[in-house]
Amino acid sequence: MTRHNPRTSRARLGFAAGLVCAAGATWAGSISVHVTDAAGQPLADAAVYAEAPGTAASAKPGKKIEIEQKGRKFLPLVTVVQAGTNISFPNNDTVRHHVYSFSPAKTFDIKLYSGESNPILFDKPGTVVIGCNIHDQMVAYIHVVPTPYFAKTDANGNARLEVPAGRYAVKAWHYGQPANAAPAELAVAATDGDVPAALKLNAKAAN
Ligand SMILES: [Cu+2]
């Protein structure tokens, strides 16, 4: 097992960002977010994201990820993407699925198919709930955010956002919660390193 070294990975991230970021942003540090429910218990699978004025709302064209169907489930259950991201829905089951969404943020329908699907462009921020027309128990959540700084909490309710220096509104969303909690407003300076943020949602963790 390799041990994660935050210092090494941060330096590497900074190097990559310097090469690809047209705005010339340099990584200043990170925001460590801890998300809890109304009872103070850690919430896994919460979307966390940091918004700042002047940050690109949409991903560059061509960004593409996948949500798999396997064992008559969508994997993963929760996906967080920046607006402008394409998602395809490969069906790796032996049965055919019919994937759809009625959500206002993205309505679509991929009729009975196996194997690869054409990608769907998620161009508007919001929550998209997807299901299968054949298997009622199949459900997954896509949370589309207007910022490149996002993550998903782990089993302990923790997530880390690598960000350039600036002022941020840090927000959290969980599928058990109808609305966002009040954002945590904070600043990250070049010398700060890791800045903690705690967000409490009135959600219950799924069983
Ligand atoms: Cu299905």
In this prediction the pTM is 0.83
Q: Give the number of other Cβ atoms within 10 Å of residue 74's Cβ.
A: 22
Ion ligand 1 residue ranges (Cβ < 5 Å): 97, 132, 134-135
Task: Give the span between the Cα atoms of 81 and 65, in whole angstroms.
Answer: 9
Q: Domain for residue 1, yes or no?
A: no
Tell me the pairing of strands 108-113 and 139-145: unpaired
Q: Which two tokens stand for residue 77?
A: 């259950």
User: How confident is the model at residue 19, as a pLDDT?
Assistant: 40
Same domain, 68 and 121: yes
**CATH number where 181 lies:** 2.60.40.10
Residues of the chain falling short of pLDDT 50: 1-24, 203-207
Domain that holds residue 170: 6-56+147-200
Tokens 């490969």 locate to 90
Q: Which two tokens stand for residue 187?
A: 């600043």
Same domain, 23 and 43: yes
Task: Give the span between the Cα atoms of 143 and 69, in whole angstroms.
Answer: 18
Ligand 1 centre distance from Cα of residue 93 (Å): 9
pLDDT in tens, 99-155: 999 999 999 999 999 999 999 999 999 999 999 999 999 999 999 999 999 999 999
Q: Count up the domains in the chain and report the number.
A: 2
Ligand 1 centre distance from Cα of residue 87 (Å): 17
User: How confident is the model at residue 47, as a pLDDT?
Assistant: 96
